[in-house]
Amino acid sequence: MTTPPQDGMPTTRGMNFFRADRNLAFVCESVMAPDVLERARPELDAMGATAGGELDALAADADRNPPALRAFDAGGRRVDEVVFHPAYREMERLAFCRFGLAAMSHREGVLGWPGRVPHVVKYTLSYLFAQAEFGILCPVSVTDSTSRMLRWFGSDELKARYLPGLTATTPEALRQGTQWMTERTGGSDVGASTTRACRDADGTWRLHGEKWFCSNANADMAVTLARPEGGAAGTSGLAMFLVPRLLPDGTRNAWTINRLKDKLGSRSMATGEVTYAGAVAYPVGDLARGFKQMMEMVNVSRLSNAMRAAGIMRRCVLESVVHARGRAAFGKALVELPLLRASLLEMLLDAEAAASVVLHAAAALDRADGGSAPDRALVRVLTPLAKFWITYRARAVAGDAMSVRGGNGYIEEWPNGRLLRDAHLGAIWEGTSSVVALDVQRAILKDGGLDALAGYARERLATVRVPAAAAWARDVGTGFDDLRRRADAWATSDDAARELDARPAAERLYHLFATSLLLAEGQRLASARRSARKLLAAGLYARRWLGATDTPVFSPAALRWLDALVDWGEVPEGALADAR
């Protein structure tokens, strides 16, 4: 990481976010095969440069100039157009066309890749993108997952008609997807949905109802849920449909955008309220399994959300370190002040843990899609777990980063305000923190989630041999045993007691899992390069999140290592004693 001149107003402008992140390059070595990483590296480098320069400037512009609804044309005819600032259109070009983020999992040859680009590469590129722009990654993610749904469940006719546009990488050919479930009656309780699906005499399905939160409101097609007439109450009666904005003959389908939401964050992207007034809809997959199919889509969106929150955390670390090194108070650089140092260290540990968790989940998704049953079980629980903690924690990290920048952090010319506003959304949509914690609990109770996570973690813990770290690895193993006993007790506890344990248990599980990954990566670094840098991070993370203490979390001795952690400087094995 380069230190900017000490003019008291340092910025990260123009930095390459990939080159500035030694940790990311190292984690990539853990989750990608060497040939995959070598092929990905030039694109990661290009994305790092784009995110730190052009994209960041566009994101600031688009955030200041949110989209507007043009409901009618000059002649009073309904057009339901969303008008975007040119900066957003340019970000669309970067995300969908230059980097092909929505297409790369579904079409061969994107970025010149032989075959399809692995999820883990897509998530790493998107993690860098998210450090500059959050809003447009929703349209990218839902377009990507619309293709996934069509490929998994769609008829040959739907695939042939819509996949080419969804996976196009030119602005002219590109067609975007989206995913609309939430109604006024509720987002968590999707089973309360009231949108009806009726069938004409000729077999055409038509939807009637309102969707209350419709992100990517300008999309060309929406994957949506509706209840076929006479269907059961609750989620079991919901079917999945694809609703195009334009019908095959080019005329507009019967959906109207009633208005756009005035949002706290994610302001570059349009979220609206939509009425289906007899809109033509095509069934996707098994009508009786609509909600279950939709949960597949929601799950990849949740992982994407965790990735975006991890990216926000990393940007916060970068902003804060650059600021603290480039500004002085009381005759010292801010970075030398113990309390500020402790804050930076905490952010760095949170961000590194999040990066590891997200990229391991992405690699597991690749293996699951390749047919691995254990990885499918792992993804089932790891996705809500990552979404639960990382999006929740990103809010606090973004708040701390704002404080590190002091008054300027509160001023919209600096990126902190946008990071904080965007961070808050991750913990609400695609399931609030409580709702996804309950899903983690369900994955443990019904789908063997704890065994899947603990098994994956224990394989990694078993690799840890450096003595001080091996003791931490044993403690983490014991932590998983304790959680097993705790989860077993849920079988006999009453509903309220069990639900009340969902969040604390998920939090503990996340930290045990994250520490396992950090320890294993630390051992790999220690073996390959004789550096205890990453083991130290693992030990400090465990002290922060697994230790019970009301004394200062980090000792002065631990804080001495902050610069070595930031810069990947020399960390001898003896330093591990300072993490205790």
Query: How far is it, in rounded angstroms, from Cα 376 to Cα 209?
Result: 35
| CB of residue 274 to ligand FAD, shortest distance in Å | 10
Report the residue from 11, 408, 434, 463 that binds ligand FAD according to the rule CB under 6 A.
Answer: 434
Binding characters for ligand FAD, 63-92, by CB under 6 A (x = yes): ------------------------------
Q: What is the 3-state secondary structure (H, E, C) of 498-533?
A: HHHCHHHHHHHHHHHHHHHHHHHHHHHHHHHHCCCH
Q: Does the protein bind ligand FAD through residue 30 (CB under 6 A)? A: no
Contacts of 406 (CB under 8 A, 6+ apart): none
Pick 18 or 291: Cβ nearer ligand FAD: 291
CB 526 within 8 A of CB 567: no
| Residue recorded with tokens 């509903």 | 495
Q: With contact defined as beta carbons under 8 Å apart, do 220 and 250 qualify?
A: no
Distance separating alpha carbons of residues 143 and 177, to the nearest angstrom: 4
The minimum distance between CB 433 and ligand FAD, in angstroms, equals 7
Residue nearest to ligand FAD (CB): 187
Name which position in 98, 263, 289, 486 contacts ligand FAD (CB under 6 A).
263
107 or 395: CB nearest ligand FAD: 395
DSSP label at residue 187: S
- Shorter beta-carbon distance to ligand FAD: residue 400 or 430: 430
Q: Which of 169, 266, 301, 356 binds ligand FAD (CB under 6 A)?
A: 266
Q: Which is nearer to ligand FAD, 167 or 215 (CB)?
A: 215
Long-range CB pairs of 85-91, under 8 A, 24+ apart, other chains included:
85/61, 85/268, 87/58, 87/59, 87/61, 87/62, 87/268, 88/58, 88/62, 88/136, 88/268, 88/269, 90/58, 91/55, 91/58, 91/59, 91/62, 91/133, 91/136, 91/268
Answer yes or no whether residue 425 interacts with ligand FAD by CB under 6 A. Answer: yes
**Could you say whether residue 432 binds ligand FAD (CB under 6 A)?**
yes
Q: State how far the Cα of 22 lies from the Cα of 219, in Å rounded to an integer.
A: 37
Q: Does 241 bind ligand FAD (CB under 6 A)?
A: no
**Taking CB under 6 A as the rule, which mask of x and - marks residues 142-181 in contact with ligand FAD?**
-------------------------------------xxx
Binding test (CB under 6 A) with ligand FAD, winner from 168, 214, 359, 379: 214
Output the smallest distance, CB 495 to ligand FAD, in A: 11
Out of 50, 141, 215, 356, name the contact with ligand FAD by CB under 6 A. Answer: 215
Nearer to ligand FAD, 217 or 345 (CB): 217
Instruction: Please choose, out of 78-86, 251-259, 432-440, 463-471, the segment that lies near ligand FAD by the rule CB under 6 A.
Output: 432-440
Decide: is 186 part of the binding site for ligand FAD (CB under 6 A). yes
CB 311 within 8 A of CB 351: no
# chain residues binding ligand FAD, by CB under 6 A: 23
Shortest spacing between CB 81 and ligand FAD, in angstroms: 18
Tokens describing residue 85: 């600032």
The CA–CA distances, whole Å, from 30 to 251, 325, 427 equal: 50, 30, 28
- Give which of 286, 167, 182, 181 is closest to 220, Cα–Cα: 167
Residue closer to ligand FAD (CB basis): 376 or 442? 442
Stretch that binds ligand FAD, among 67-75, 117-125, 275-283, 425-433 (CB under 6 A): 425-433
Q: Report 496-535 residues binding ligand FAD (CB under 6 A).
A: none
Q: Does 435 bind ligand FAD (CB under 6 A)?
A: yes
Nearer to ligand FAD, 438 or 518 (CB): 438
- Does residue 291 belong to the site contacting ligand FAD (CB under 6 A)? no
> Is 218 among the residues that bind ligand FAD (CB under 6 A)?
no
Q: Which amino acid is at 147?
A: S
CB of 353 to ligand FAD, least distance (A): 24
Q: Residue 187 interacts with ligand FAD (CB under 6 A)? A: yes
Determine contact, residues 15/47, Cβ cutoff 8 Å.
no
Binding ligand FAD by CB under 6 A: which of 26, 99, 414, 429?
429
Least distance between ligand FAD and beta carbon 188 (Å)? 3
Q: Which residues contact 51 (CB under 8 A, 6 or more apart)?
A: 17, 18, 128, 129, 131, 132, 133
Q: How far is the CB of 575 from ligand FAD (least distance, A)?
A: 41
Q: Which residue has the tokens 């924690």?
A: 393
d(CA 571, CA 563): 10
C-beta of residue 242 within 8 angstroms of C-beta of residue 169: no
Which residue, chain included where needed, has tokens 């990066």?
355
Q: Quick one: 50 or 178, whose CB is closer to ligand FAD?
A: 178
Q: Is 188 in the site for ligand FAD (CB under 6 A)?
A: yes
Residue 205 in the binding site for ligand FAD (CB under 6 A): no
Q: Which helix (H) or strand (E) holds 27?
A: helix 22-31
Nearest-CA neighbor of 394 among 417, 427, 418, 361?
A: 427
Nearer of residues 11 and 434 to ligand FAD, judged by Cβ: 434
Closer to ligand FAD at the Cβ: 120 or 425? 425
Question: Footprint of ligand FAD on this chain (CB under 6 A)?
Answer: 179-182, 186-189, 213-215, 263, 266, 271, 425, 428-432, 434-435, 438
